[in-house]
Structures are given as structure tokens and as C-alpha cells.
Amino acid sequence: MDVINSLRKILKTRFKREHFLAYIKVFGCQQNEADAEKICGFLKLLGFNFTDNILVADLILFETCAVRHTAEEKILAHIGNLKNIKKSNNNIFIAICGCMVEQENIKNYINEKFPFVDFICGAKSIENFPELFYKKLTGEKLNNFCNVPVLQKNKFNAWVPIISGCNNFCSYCIVPYVRGPEKSKDYNQILDYCKKIIKNGSKIITLLGQNVNSYFYNNFNFSDLLKEIDKIDGEFTIRFMTSHPKDFNKNLVDTLANLKHFSGHLHLPVQSGNNRILKFMNRKYTREEYIEKINYAREKIKNLVITSDIIVGFPGETNLEFEDTVSLIQKIKFASIFNFIYSPRVGTAAFNMQDNISHDEKVRRISKIIKIQEEISQEFLSGFVGTNLKVIIEEDHVNKSIARSKSNIIVELKGSFNVGDIVNTKIISSKRSYLIGKKV
């Protein structure tokens, strides 16, 4: 507590007020959302409240992503825009955290171009954010900070990191470099945490990891973990992401089929439908194995909602190889997919592969997939019209609310509800990427 009090004192002097406001912006994936909630828990202890208005903030923090060049460009532009804010009040504290600033070259670039940034804390050091923040403000080293509670952005929604880092080294991907090696978290600690948050009202438990299927701690695997969480008393849904197809197996499907609380949504990124490209991506499964796994899962779990990620324009991808991805999408009929144009990342294996596809061609390929998937998604969604769906309210706007079904389908509802409410709806129509429902 001494530590907290001394930090508070320093911040009071710096910001010239008793209560402080923080503006937090999260880029990238759910792992970053989870990291931001940890940081927010710490800032709350120091007396911060949170604002969406960057102009009134004492502390501005970006949780950054490095997965594609476009993401980095956008974030760097946002950082550049902070210059004037800092000019208007030099006491404002600017912190840049997360994956992007794990890269030495980017860190140097920020230090050089944006000297008004006060503090940089990369993704691998997020667990030590309190100690590093303390060192920044006091100049002193702190060995171990007290246990900091996570501050959930939405009380009903809980991110539960079960694995940090990644060992897969897909040839295009920077994540293993910026997040470090894969490490499974303590089995009992995860279970205790889940029990606590479910008791406190969390209704959606999302287990997080770059490859949740490879969870392994003291002889307990991912299936064991799911079965134990499933036994906890309460009304909740278990989601997880991401599943890597190479480790997604029949044993896990059999487990999922028997869970009481499984959401029914599976995100299983395939990346490409062509075996040569999959090999060069270092994904360690074939198109045929992927299809077989999906068939088995669909056979065992009815109404399974399957989504995926696709990369087009991987170095050397011919038009015929691209067409294999198209035919896979048409065959599997995912509920939805995230599409990306391949982005070369410094330090990855693919960075040195010959990238000879023109930008226009990459855009043509992604546009083709978007169009095909749009029709598939529409057909998938129209199948819900006339049925009843239980949803949880995520956003409450004037006259309409945005909700999500257990299996991750977005439903727009007329009328006002409370965030976190569970509502029974009847689906009256379907749009391109969501459903329209009414309360029953």
C-alpha cells in the first residue's frame, strides 16, 4: 500500500488534481484486451477513472498490435496525433504498450520521432507493468508488486488468458517474436479465477491463447481444463480462441460435444486451401486434414458455428492456388471469415520469400473472397429467421441494442435494455452480417 500511496502522491503533483482520468485505446486481438484490463486494474488502484474523451485525459495509453503493416501504420499515425495534446499540457503521461513496441526498430523510431512519449512497455513485459511504471515515476526499482485485480470492461464478459506466447512460427507471423515462447498458465489458478468471476457475475468466459489446443500444465490438457470449468455452478458460456487446426483433434471435439456450457462457436483459422501454400506457411496440416476435422466436428456437435481467417497473396501464391482457397470456402461454408492481404513482417521466415504478386492482384483476390463469403454468410444468417435465439446485450443505444448469441452471432434488437441482460428473442430478419430480432 505504501507503494500505491507514494505513486498517488507523485501523480497528484504531476497532474495537479486529486482524481485522475485515463484514456485507453486497444488495437489488435483479445489478448490485448485482456492485457489492457490488467493495466486498468492497476490504474484503478492508483485512483484513475476512465474516459472516452482523449482531450480530458491525464494519462493516454495505447495497447498496440504488430500483426500487419497496416495496423502499425494506423497506430503510428495515432501516436503522431498526440503531439499537440502533449504540447497543450506537458504533464500528460503518454504510454505505448503491447506487441508493436516489442520490436527494437519500432521502439527506436518512436523514441526518435515522438520524443513526447513518456513510457514504452512491450507485450512481454505487461506482467511487470506496475513495477516498470513505478520505476519510471520514482526512479526506484521494485521487486514484486502486490496482486493487482483485473478491471473487466464489461462485467459480464471475462477474458481468461490460459496460454501466453506462441511456438508455432507460421512463416508469415510476427506473434511468436513479439509475445515470446508459449507458456501455459497454472491449472488451479485458472480454475480458481473462473470460479471467482462466475460467482461475481461473468456470463461469458473466453479462454485465450494463440493456440488454446496446445494447453498443457502438469499433465492437464485443454480438454481437462474445459471439463473442469464446465463443472462450475452458474449460468455462463465458455468460448475460446484461437484453435490451431493442427492440434484440433477428435478428443477435443468429443469433449466439446459433452460440455453443458460450450458456446457452439469454433474459430478455426485455415489461412489457405492449398497444400503447397500451407506447407510454406508452416501450418502443419493439409487441406484434406482440415476438411476431415470440420466434418467430424459438425457430425458430433449440431449447429456448430465455424469461422475462420484467410490470408491471400502469400509469396508465390499462384492464381490456381488461390482458387483452392476459394473452393475450400465454398465447400466448408463458414459462418464468417476474416480476410487479410499478406503483409510482410521483418524477422519472419516469409519476409525473405519472393513476393511477386502485384498489389492490384492481391486486392482482386481478397475482393473475390469477400464477395463469395458475403453470399455464404447471408445464406447462413437467413436460416435463423423465424427461430428463437437467446442473446446477451453488449451495447445499449437509443432505441436499439446490440446483442450476441451464445455462438457469437450479432443480433440487433429494438428497444432499450441493460448491458449484460440475457434476452430471449425471435429473429425477424437477417442482414449481411447480423440478425434483427425482437424480445419474446
User: 26 or 212, CB closer to ligand SF4?
Assistant: 212
Distance CA 197, CA 203 (A): 9
Among 242, 255, 307, 325, binds ligand SAH (CB under 6 A): 242
The closest alpha carbon to 207, from 281, 126, 266, 128, belongs to 266
Q: Residue from 7, 133, 172, 179 that binds ligand F3S (CB under 6 A)?
A: 179
Identified binder of ligand SAH from the candidate list 39, 311, 389, 403, rule CB under 6 A:
311
Q: How far is the CB of 239 from ligand F3S (least distance, A)?
A: 17
Task: Tell the residue number behind the cell numbers 515462447, with chain if given.
Answer: 181
Position 373 contacts ligand SAH (CB under 6 A): no
Q: How far is the CB of 284 from ligand F3S (least distance, A)?
A: 20
* DSSP notation for 276-294: HHHHHTT----HHHHHHHH
* Beta carbon nearer to ligand SF4, 92 or 175: 175
| Residue 269 found at the interface with ligand F3S (CB under 6 A) | no
- Helix ranges (H only) for 29-163 are 30-45, 69-80, 82-88, 104-113, 129-138
Q: Is 165 in the site for ligand F3S (CB under 6 A)?
A: no
d(CA 146, CA 204): 27
Q: How far is the CB of 384 from ligand SAH (least distance, A)?
A: 26
Give the nearer residue to ligand SF4 in terms of CB position, either 213 or 401: 213
The entry of ligand SAH, ligand F3S, ligand SF4, none near residue 31 (CB within 5 to 8 angstroms by kind) is ligand F3S
Q: Which does 176 bind (CB under 5 to 8 A by kind): ligand F3S, ligand SF4, ligand SAH, none?
A: ligand SF4
Q: Report whether 84 contacts 62 (CB < 8 A).
A: no
Name the nearest CA neighbour of 97 among 116, 118, 112.
Answer: 118
Report how far residue 307's alpha carbon sits from residue 37's, in angstroms, rounded to the nearest whole number: 26
Residue 185 DSSP label: P
Residues that bind ligand SAH (CB under 6 A): 67-68, 172-173, 175, 210-211, 242, 244, 269, 271, 309, 311, 340, 342-343, 345
